[in-house]
Amino acid sequence: MAQFPSLSRRAFLHAGAGAAAAGLLGISEVHLDAQTPDMDLSNPVRFGIIGVGTQGSALLTNSVALPGVKCLAASDLYDGRHTLAREIAGQDVKTSRRYQDVLQDKSIECVIVAVPDFWHKQVVVDALKAGKDVYCEKPMSHTIAEGEEMVSTSQHTGKFVQVGSQRVSSPIFIKAQELISNGSIGDVLQAELQLGRNSPDGAWEYPPPPDLSPENLDWVTWQKDLPKKPFDPKTFARWRCWHEYGTGMAGDLMVHLVSGMQFVTGINAIPDSAYTAGGIERWKDGRNMPDVQSTVLKYGKVPVSVRLTLGTETPEITRVLGSKGVVEITNNSVTYLPQLGINTGPSYYSQSYSAALRHQYDQDWHAQNDPILAQHPLADATVYRGQSWDNLKPHLANFFSAVRTRKPVVEDVVFGHHAAAACHMANASYFEDKLIKRA
């Protein structure tokens, strides 16, 4: 009698981690190479950057390392970051506290916007109206209404926005998209997204610059049109902790996970509903954004669960489950675990039969199913490995190439609006303690 591989529930759960699958199925590994567009070195893309903080400085560093790209100007309300911008991009970079100075420079073709969330809409809309293409850090917006205005302005001006969730330019996510779109896992039934941190840095308890003062920071302008509060270095450095300025774990972490999920599944929409449970359990430092947050988003018939925490370190995982298998994405790998979706042996329910009935059932089962199993053996698991999805250069290269070629960007303003809207709905559910439905 032929023996066919089967995957028990317990074995499958262990296989979900990727490497453990080797003991359960055959496993093969494939290396993925990142593809970056060629740039015209004789005609460099000239850009400016608005916001040179933690993420802005990383974007600037990676941008100027790309061939065919040149930074002309940088803006930040903190003078210390003018020095940082020149250290990164060269002493000839113009610096200003006023982002409008960058937008008024007609030699600048595009801008990178890496300001706090509550400033995104204003700076992006002004940049689009000034004729600049925009790379906007995630989340694209601070509210759904702001996202709608950003979409409208981009479409009206003919200038584009690429949102900075760099996973969509990663060969890891591109391979996952290919596997799912070609039907490898059958119908997409649900997705599971998770990420956890467990450190002060992970919880945004950043140390403010030691020299920060009202003399070298335009604190009044930084607060935009919100009620003014006395100068507070911690608020400046840790703005993600408060919904007045940021979007918490949803806007910092969930938006990456949702963007990746949208990209690989082709679900490019605002969710039909969102429900969040959570609280402030670990970092009781005056913040009003949760540090434990579990959300269920519903896209048509597809539920997407998102588990976030700042109290326990766990790897980032995007797992898409279908009728024919699973695609699981980690930092630098995507694992494809195929499933037959049929019994690979007689039903264990037959244990409740008497001996004679069970013997006859087994004979009949094998006669009927062995030929089918012989034609459909359980395939090996495959692990595709490549550079970390957190690599900024491929995503920035795609942006600058689009500026020059006018080809569509990989993560446009509509895509970014949909991903951000999911996060805003999740936060609204947390604060209102109810299911939030799409308007």
**Percent of the chain topping pLDDT 90:** 86
- CB count in 10 Å sphere of residue 359: 12
Reading the block at residue 397, the tokens are 């290269």
Q: Which secondary-structure segment (H or E) carries 430?
A: helix 413-432
- Between CA 235 and CA 251 the distance in angstroms is 17
Q: Which secondary-structure segment (H or E) carries 165?
A: none
Asked whether residue 175 carries a pLDDT value surpassing 70, the answer given is: yes
Amino acid at 91: Q
- Between CA 95 and CA 91 the distance in angstroms is 10
Cβ atoms of residues 408 and 402 within 8 Å: yes
Instruction: For Cα atoms 80, 85, 86, give the angle at the middle one, nearest 5 degrees.
Output: 100
The structural domains of the chain, ordered by start, are 45-165 (3.40.50.720)
Reading the block at residue 261, the tokens are 């999920």
Task: Please write the tens of the pLDDT for every residue from 90-136.
Answer: 999 999 999 999 999 999 999 999 999 999 999 999 999 999 999 99
- Between CA 21 and CA 6 the distance in angstroms is 12
Give 287's contacts (C-beta < 8 A, 6+ positions apart).
Answer: 238, 241, 242, 280
Task: Please write the tens of the pLDDT for every residue from 189-247.
Answer: 999 999 999 999 999 999 999 999 999 999 999 999 999 999 999 999 999 999 999 99
Reply yes or no: is the peptide bond before residue 271 cis, omega within 30 of 0. no
Interval 149-165 mean pLDDT = 97
Closest CA to 317 of 241, 257, 273: 257
pLDDT of residue 51: 98
Reading the block at residue 339, the tokens are 């499933």
| DSSP code at position 195 | E
